Amino acid sequence: ETGVTQSPTHLIKTRGQQVTLRCSSQSGHNTVSWYQQALGQGPQFIFQYYREEENGRGNFPPRFSGLQFPNYSSELNVNALELDDSALYLCASRRPGQGSTDTQYFGPGTRLTVL
């Protein structure tokens, strides 16, 4: 148990629709990252939020957006869904620090299927 939860576990949408995925961080972790993992590949970094601000972004278009709330929980929003957006979406909570404190723990993921 990592203490990171995600909802929903599975979701089916059609092309062009919008989707919101949710994540609750591990207690004490003020940083949340979102990843997209296509079948057979490693997780790809979408973006990271720290104290409710985006402070890092991977190579994803603006239709991928996010929010972080004062309790450090987070949302990932994807607009105008495309077939290639079908993937496992992973949330990871982190407490950045110096030395041996910087670790990242993943939630169980949300499986998104776009038809």
Partner 1 sequence: GQQLNQSPQSMFIQEGEDVSMNCTSSSIFNTWLWYKQDPGEGPVLLIALYKAGELTSNGRLTAQFGTTRKDSFLNISASIPSDVGIYFCAGLGDTGNQFYFGTGTSLTVIP
**Residue 62 contacts partner 1 per CB under 8 A:** no
DSSP 25-57: PPTT--EEEEEEE-TTS--EEEEEEETTEEEEE
> Least distance (Å) from partner 1 to the CB of residue 54?
10
Residue 38 in tokens = 């296509």
**Residue 41 contacts partner 1 per CB under 8 A:** yes
Give the separation between CA 27 and CA 25, rounded to whole angstroms: 6
| Residue in 26, 76, 85, 107 binding partner 1, rule: CB under 8 A | 107
Run of H or E including 101:
none
Amino acid letter at 46? I
**Residue 68 contacts partner 1 per CB under 8 A:** no
**Residue 105 contacts partner 1 per CB under 8 A:** yes
Applying CB under 8 A, which residues contact partner 1? Answer: 2, 4, 33, 35, 41-45, 48, 55-56, 58-59, 88, 90, 92, 96, 99-100, 102-109, 111
